[in-house]
């Protein structure tokens, strides 16, 4: 039981740390945060759009963050590793944040969603889905939900884990608006696609073997026909 409580406390503390870092590093546009505890340190990997904001001048921002994590969250020897997101246009959380900023600037939802989908697919994504829900207009307006999708998208099952999902909240005068983005990143191969490809490959292999066998058979030399000569034996009478 003590082990379970310890694990639960650690999980709760990790959630608090992530929540703090997402808020503290908002200007850097955070995509993901992972926490790994090792025997000598606690590695905190932060994927961001703008790494310079996290690092700060001569690494001062990172040092200050490490001090806060050690003091306020009891993180042992925190080591923050900053990773720049290689392709922000196919990162679900960063795209959700981008959509939120645009809606906050000008709440014209449909064109913003179309532009975002074009950007995502233009970056090589196999599929994308955007959902915006909340009260867009002011007094007297009703909450609405807008959805748009292009390309391949999985909605349930184990394969959903292969879909990158990100959330962000836009704050308008009418209220909060939730944005959810799902992206099937370039190069993603789903299990059912693997099965189909394997079946196609097997069928192609069997066809190739059959064609090869037919070609080999056609190339075999045809044996010459055996000519059977029947010899008739006739008895001749010798004249006396």
Within this chain, do residues 99 and 174 fall inside the same structural domain, yes or no? yes
Question: Which one is predicted more confidently, 116 or 228?
Answer: 116
Q: What is the CA radius of gyration of the chain?
A: 35
Are 104 and 76 within one domain? no
Domain span holding position 160: 89-184
Q: Phi and psi for 47 in degrees, rounded to 5? A: -95, 120
In this prediction the pTM is 0.74
CA-closest candidate to residue 173, choices 112, 110, 96, 107: 107
- Give the pLDDT score at 193: 56
- pLDDT band at residue 140 under the 50/70/90 scheme: low
Question: Which has the closest alpha carbon to 73: 3, 18, 5?
Answer: 18
Task: Looking at the structure, tell me whether residues 73 and 101 fall in a common domain.
Answer: no
- pLDDT category at 229 given cuts 50, 70, 90 is very low
User: 119 and 177 share a domain?
Assistant: yes
186 CB-side CA count, 13 A? 11
Among 36, 53, 85, give the residue marking a domain's end: 85
- On the question of pLDDT at 240 being above 50, the answer is no
- When divided into structural domains, the chain yields a total of 2
Average pLDDT over residues 197-213: 67
**180 shares a domain with 98:** yes
CA–CA gap between residue 150 and residue 69 (Å, rounded): 41
Q: Are 54 and 97 in the same domain?
A: no
| pLDDT over 90 (residue 9) | no
Q: What is the pLDDT of residues 37-96, one digit of tens each?
A: 888 999 999 999 999 888 887 777 888 999 999 999 999 899 999 999 999 999 999 999
Q: Point out the domain boundary residue: 137, 160, 184.
A: 184
Averaged pLDDT for residues 130-156? 87
Between 198 and 108, the higher pLDDT residue: 108
* Boundary residue ending a domain (159, 184, 209): 184
């Amino acid at each position: 039981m003590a082990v379970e409580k310890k694990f639960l406390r650690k999980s709760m503390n990790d959630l608090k740390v992530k929540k703090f870092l997402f808020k503290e590093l908002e200007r850097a546009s955070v995509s993901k945060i992972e926490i790994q505890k090792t025997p000598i340190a606690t590695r905190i990997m932060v994927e961001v759009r703008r790494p310079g904001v996290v690092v700060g001048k001569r690494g001062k921002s990172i040092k200050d963050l490490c001090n806060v994590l050690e003091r306020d969250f009891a993180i042992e020897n925190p080591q923050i590793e900053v990773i720049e997101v290689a392709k922000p246009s196919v990162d679900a959380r960063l795209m959700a944040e981008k959509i939120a900023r645009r809606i906050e600037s000008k709440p014209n939802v449909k064109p913003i969603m179309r532009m975002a989908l074009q950007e995502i697919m233009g970056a090589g994504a196999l599929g994308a889905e955007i959902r915006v829900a909340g009260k867009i207009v002011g007094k007297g307006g009703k909450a609405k939900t807008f959805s748009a999708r292009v390309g391949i998208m999985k909605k349930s099952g184990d394969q959903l884990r292969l879909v990158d999902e990100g959330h962000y909240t836009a704050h308008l005068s009418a209220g909060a608006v939730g944005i959810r983005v799902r992206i099937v990143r370039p190069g993603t191969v789903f299990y059912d696609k693997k099965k189909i490809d394997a079946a196609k490959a097997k069928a192609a292999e069997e066809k190739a073997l059959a064609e090869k066998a037919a070609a080999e058979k056609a190339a075999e030399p045809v044996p010459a026909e055996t000519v059977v000569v029947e010899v008739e034996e006739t008895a001749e009478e010798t004249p006396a």
